[in-house]
Structure 1
Amino acid sequence: MDEAIASHLEQVRAHRAELGDAMAALDAALALPVGLGPVWRRRVRAALTELAHDLRDHVDLTEAPGGLYDDLRAHAPRLSREVDSRTAEHVELLAEVDRLLGERDDGLEGDEAVAAHREATTALIGRLVRHRQRGSDLVFEAYEVDLGGSG
C-alpha cells in the first residue's frame, strides 16, 4: 500500500470514529423519554444534525476523486461492485437523514408522528451500523487493514 492511501485510511479511521460517536449520541437522545417534550425534540434534533454533518464528511472523504473508493477500484477491481453498493447506500442514507431533518423542521404533530419519527430514526442507526460493517469488511478485504471497531 502506498503512503498516500495509508494516510487516507488514517483520515477514514478518524472520521469513522466521529461518525460512531454521532450515532451513539443520537441513540442516547432517542432513548430519552419522549415525555420530556421540547427537551427530547431539541436533543434529537441536535444529535441528528451532528450525524448528518459527520455522514456528509464520510461520503466526501470516501468518494473524493483519488480517494478511498477510487483506490479500491484500482487496487482491487474485483471489489468494484461492493464499492458501487456502498456508494448507492450513501445516496440512500443521506436522503433518509435529509428526510428526517425535514420532518423535524416541519414539526411533529401528535404522539403518533413523534413515535414514527423515533422509529424511523432508530432504523436509520441500524442501517448505518450495517453500512459501517460492510465498509470495514471491504477495506479489510482490499488492504488487510482494520479500521477499528470502537469508533
Structure 2
Amino acid sequence: MSLPDPGVLDAVRRRRGDLDDALLIVRDGLVADPAGPRRVAALCAGLRQLRADLYEHVAVTEEPGGLYDEVRRADPRFEPAVWRLRGEHTRLGLLLDDLLAGIAHQPRGVVGWPTLRPRVVELLTLLGRHRSRDAQLAYDAGGLDLGGQD
C-alpha cells in the first residue's frame, strides 16, 4: 500500500492522543470520590470529552480522503474491516449518547451508580477493542503505527 497523506496520519494520531486523554478522565471518574457527586461530575466530564473526541476521530478516519478511504483505495480486501470499524463508530456513539442522556435525566446526585458503572466499563471495553482493530487495520494495510494506548 502506498502510504497515506502525512496530514491524514498526523490528524489520526492527534485524535488518537485526544481519545487517550478522554479515556483517562473517564477511568478517573470511575474511581473518584466513591461517596459523592464528584464521581458523577468527573465521569460526566470524561464522557462528554470522549464523545467530542470520538466525533473528531470519526471525521478523520471516515471523511472523504480520510484513512479508511486511503486503506480501501490501496487494497479493496480491507473493505470489510473498514465497514466493521464504521459500524463500531456508530455503536460507540450511540452508547455514549445513551449514557449521557441517562445521566442528564437523573436528579442531581441520584444517578444509579450500580447500573451506570457496568455500562461505562462495557463502553471502555468496546472502545479498547475498537482501537486495537483500528490500529491493526492501519498496520496490516501499510505497516503504519498509529501510536497511542491499546
Normalised by the length of structure 1, the TM-score is 0.91
Correspondence 1:40-79 to 2 at 5 A: 40-79=39-78
RMSD: 1.9
Q: Is the 8 A contact 2:13 2:148 kept in 1?
A: no
Calculate percent identity across the aligned residue pairs.
32
Residues 1:23 and 1:108: Cα distance change in structure 2 (over 3 Å): farther
Report what 2:32 is aligned to: 32
Q: Which residue of 1 aligns with 2:80?
A: 81
* Aligned mates of 2:73, 2:124 — CA distance in 1: 31
Structure 2 stretches of 5 or more lacking a match?
none
Q: Deviations over 1:96-149 (max 9, x none)?
A: 000000001111699782211111011101111110000000000111011114
Of 104-113 and 52-61, deviating more is 104-113
Residue 125 (structure 1) aligns with: 124
> What TM-score comes out, normalization by structure 2 length?
0.91
Structure 1 segments, 4+ long, off by >3 Å, are 108-112
One-letter identity of the residue aligned with 1:146: D
Q: 1:31 Cα deviation (Å)? A: 1.3
Distance 1:39 1:81 in 2: 42
Contact 1:59 1:90 in 2 (8 A): yes
Q: Deviations over 1:26-60 (max 9, x none)?
A: 00111124312x21111111111001100111011
Q: Which runs of 5+ in 1 are unaligned?
A: none
